[in-house]
Chains A and B, each alone.
Chain A
Amino acid sequence: MSVAQEMILMLPEIVLVVGACFILLCPRPLAWPLTMLTLAAAVGAMLATAPDAPILLMSGMFERSAEVDVLRILICVLTVLVLRYARGYPVSSDRLQSNEFYTLATFGCVGMFLISGAEHLVALYMGLEILALSLYPMIAMVRDDGRAGEAALKYFVLGALASGFLLYGMSLMYAATGTLHIGELAERLGQMETNRILLLGTVFMLAGLAFKLGATPFHMWLPDVYDGSSLPAATYLSAAPKIAGLLLLLRLFGDGLMALAADWTTLMMALAVLSLLLGNLVAIAQTRIRRMLAYSAIAHTGFVFLALCAGSPKGMGSAVFYTLVYALMAAGSFGMLLLLNARTTAEDIKDFKGLNHSHPWLAIMVLILMFSMAGVPLTAGFYAKLYVLQAVVEAGLWPLAVAAVLLTVVGAYYYLRIVWYMYFEEAERPAEPGEDLTHVFLVSANALVLVVIFAVPQPWLEMSQRAAGVFVGGQ
């Protein structure tokens, strides 16, 4: 293939990079419209250049496929949503609406795009670091807030450590197999005897990814980062990067290391069960919403790991579907939190008390979001959990499925507590949500999509299966 053709297929990334540079340099009032324009142009470029079949570019370093493009469009949509939510935040009037913030958000998307298509360990690592190096400054950006600085430092140290683990694992894999190409890696691993270096490499890579995704016992940074960073940065962190994290996991473990599945499945099961256990139990004790959402994120990560333990194409598909739904729920919850914090601080769970009396519509939206997080029927969260459990049971791992169901029931308590507070308790002080109608509309749409997914889950599920198929089919 000629260079020109390759460049056309890489157009979405090129558009994002060029756009991000212009966002940094343009006059401040233009930064926001330019960001929206860049993300829209990237989606447009993706739709215009979608290939018919998965295709390898850049000497096999990068893979472009229409199936994964759908997830990348979702990443762009979530980023737009999250940035729009963040505009209502009062402190954001200066730093968090500056050109730098939008540039970093756009570069974060570049990282996520690279991760989604990387077929080579170098490309994968570059994508991961571009994303991570955009997230650290986004958190540290509120310079006069000591909590944000502390959160950024914790995230930075543990994030860099996680990259170190992942890289060390990669280097051991390279020494053992002699290739950095993920497809070739899968092929060579299939023909090799398992040896200690391979096992060590697998363990390090899994530990690095567990760190990045915040699975127990590598979760300790996550609650502090969610709680300490500014609300807009935490919102960005909680939504789209989760999809990128899953794609990373699928690429490395669903494709590259699939031949060693017998060895890593046990470890992944342990991570899944520990995350479900710790996430759900500790979340009950939280009084601040963001810490609760952080522990709930850990529990949800546990569910995704559980789906991957099944090791079947169906398991991979259900993992994609679960992450997709989770990213929407997280964006919606944080969007709602930003709305409630637009004028006063309302960061405690108690601040939800009596919301139904003052703002019944918002209360219904919170209800949908919380039901979906808990996995109650009539919301997408129910199907997401159901499909994962189906895949796990089909793989013969029913004790895991039983444990997951039990822990989910325990977890439902802290989501439903918020609903209880909203409907059946008196407000301690009046809620003062923002009055930005666009924000209210977007949060409502975000929550209602979850009901729509429940009503017609089939297209979403098929889309997830097809996207997962690109990774599994790669070997």
Chain B
Amino acid sequence: MLSLTHFMLLSGALFAIGVAGVFVNRRHALVLLMSLELILLAVNTNFIAASHYLQDLGGQAFALFVLTIAAAEIAIGLAIVVVVFRSRETIDAEDLSEVRG
């Protein structure tokens, strides 16, 4: 029988992969966006599992909101990546060092 702990471990692992993806990956801006998406999926897993075990619908409603906003966020993220690509012909995250102090 799966318990809440199992789901929280799963979401913890997803979250860790996402965060590691943002910090370790220095190559590709699209992989950054995927990592961000993974973090939000980890959050959703947590909410839905908790909502089921607590028998409370609030968590599932929250997950729907998170999904919607994640879609909007990624749309804006991709638009920004396109802007960056147009001006410098690369989306390699390591090359983003023009603004420095």
Residues of A within 8 A of B80 (CB): 136-137, 140, 149, 152-153, 156
Whether B99 contacts A167 by the Cβ 8 Å rule is no
Residues of B within 8 A of A161 (CB): 19, 22, 36, 39
User: 1/0 contact trace for B61-101 toward A, CB 8 Å?
Assistant: 11001100100110011011101101110000000101111
Indicate which residue in B4, B40, B51, B96 contacts A153 across the interface (CB closer than 8 Å): B96
Interchain CA distance A122-B84 in the complex, whole Å? 32
B79 CB, min distance to chain A CBs, angstroms = 7
Whether B36 contacts A164 by the Cβ 8 Å rule is yes
Q: How many residues of A contact B (CB 8 A)?
A: 45
Interface residues of A in 344-384 (CB under 8 A from B): none
Indicate which residue in A153, A171, A197, A227 contacts B29 across the interface (CB closer than 8 Å): A153
Whether B32 contacts A157 by the Cβ 8 Å rule is yes
Check if A265 is an interface residue, CB within 8 A of chain B: no
B24 CB, min distance to chain A CBs, angstroms = 13
Interchain CA distance A136-B76 in the complex, whole Å? 8
Q: What is the interface of chain B mostly: helix, strand, loop, or mixed?
A: helix
A-B contacts, CB under 8 A, total: 134
Q: Which residue of B lies closest to A154 (CB)?
A: B96
User: 1/0 contact trace for B16-56 toward A, CB 8 Å?
Assistant: 00110010000001001000100110110011011101101
Interchain CA distance A175-B84 in the complex, whole Å? 39
Q: Which residue of B lies closest to A121 (CB)?
A: B62
Using known A-B contacts A224-B99, A291-B101, determine if residue A175 contacts B87 with beta carbons closer than 8 Å: no
Check if A126 is an interface residue, CB within 8 A of chain B: yes
Check if A179 is an interface residue, CB within 8 A of chain B: yes
Indicate which residue in A143, A167, A288 contacts B87 across the interface (CB closer than 8 Å): A143
Tell which of A122, A126, A223 has the most Cβ of chain B within 10 Å: A122
User: 1/0 contact trace for A145-167 toward B, CB 8 Å?
Assistant: 11101111110110011011001
Check if A180 is an interface residue, CB within 8 A of chain B: yes
Indicate which residue in B43, B51, B88 contacts A164 across the interface (CB closer than 8 Å): B43
Interchain CA distance A76-B25 in the complex, whole Å? 40
Whether A149 contacts B83 by the Cβ 8 Å rule is yes
Check if A228 is an interface residue, CB within 8 A of chain B: yes
Check if A22 is an interface residue, CB within 8 A of chain B: no
Using known A-B contacts A152-B83, A228-B99, determine if residue A160 contacts B73 with beta carbons closer than 8 Å: yes
Q: Which residue of B lies closest to A169 (CB)?
A: B43
B26 CB, min distance to chain A CBs, angstroms = 12
A443 CB, min distance to chain B CBs, angstroms = 26
Interchain CA distance A200-B86 in the complex, whole Å? 41
User: 1/0 contact trace for A179-200 toward B, CB 8 Å?
Assistant: 1100000000000000001000
Whether A179 contacts B58 by the Cβ 8 Å rule is yes
Whether B50 contacts A171 by the Cβ 8 Å rule is yes
Q: Which residue of A lies closest to B62 (CB)?
A: A122
Check if A133 is an interface residue, CB within 8 A of chain B: yes
Indicate which residue in A129, A160, A180 contacts B36 across the interface (CB closer than 8 Å): A160
Check if A217 is an interface residue, CB within 8 A of chain B: no
Check if A125 is an interface residue, CB within 8 A of chain B: yes
Whether A150 contacts B98 by the Cβ 8 Å rule is yes
Whether A180 contacts B22 by the Cβ 8 Å rule is no
Residues of A within 8 A of B62 (CB): 121-122, 125, 170-171, 174, 180
Interchain CA distance A145-B86 in the complex, whole Å? 10
Indicate which residue in A133, A150, A156, A178 contacts B99 across the interface (CB closer than 8 Å): A150
User: 1/0 contact trace for A217-239 toward B, CB 8 Å?
Assistant: 00000011001100000000000
Check if A460 is an interface residue, CB within 8 A of chain B: no
Tell which of B76, B86, B98, B99 has the most Cβ of chain A within 10 Å: B99
Whether B22 contacts A167 by the Cβ 8 Å rule is no
Using known A-B contacts A157-B36, A174-B58, A224-B99, determine if residue A168 contacts B43 with beta carbons closer than 8 Å: yes
Whether B43 contacts A171 by the Cβ 8 Å rule is yes
Whether A126 contacts B65 by the Cβ 8 Å rule is yes
Residues of A within 8 A of B51 (CB): 174
Residues of B within 8 A of A144 (CB): 87
Interchain CA distance A35-B29 in the complex, whole Å? 35
Closest 9 CB pairs of A and B: A164-B39, A175-B50, A171-B46, A228-B99, A146-B87, A149-B84, A167-B43, A149-B83, A224-B99
Q: List 6 A-B contacts (CB under 8 A).
A: A121-B62, A133-B76, A145-B87, A149-B84, A164-B39, A175-B8
